[in-house]
Amino acid sequence: MSSEDAQIRVFVSSMSANSTTVNQQKNIEQVLEAKRVNFIKIDIASNSESKDEMRTIMGDEHGLAPQICNGNVYCGNYETFAEANEAGTLFDFLKLPNPNQEQS
């Protein structure tokens, strides 16, 4: 997987002591891997510039990981990710073409 292929960026925090956050981050990774979606995981705990970038993209100066973007376009947080996955609209949420649908 080259970085050019991975336009989906998942902002995570490796320093979170909150078990809910840790589980959400793992779930996002598992779902994306199962759906064969290329993504880049960005650890905001190891780089304050990445945290600032995530917060700028999402438009919230106090935003916390996990957050999901397609390039520099904000997709949403874990809750909206999980809702889209449940509803079968994950590729719409990620702003990607659905590989399971015929392209016209």
Q: What string of pLDDT tens digits covers the 104 residues of the chain?
A: 334 455 999 999 999 889 999 999 999 999 999 999 999 999 999 989 999 999 999 999 999 999 999 999 999 999 999 999 999 999 999 999 988 876 55
Residue 1, in any domain of the structure: no
Structural domains of the chain, count = 1
The domain containing residue 30 runs over which residues?
Answer: 8-93
Residue 81, in any domain of the structure: yes
Residue 2, in any domain of the structure: no
Instruction: Supply the pTM of this predicted model.
Output: 0.89
Residue 30: alpha-carbon gap to chain centroid: 11
> Residue 23's domain is classified under what CATH number?
3.40.30.10
Q: What does the pLDDT read at residue 29? A: 98
Let me know if 82 is exposed, middle or buried by CB neighbors in 10 A (0-12, 13-18, 19+).
middle
Residue 79, in any domain of the structure: yes
Q: What does the pLDDT read at residue 56? A: 97
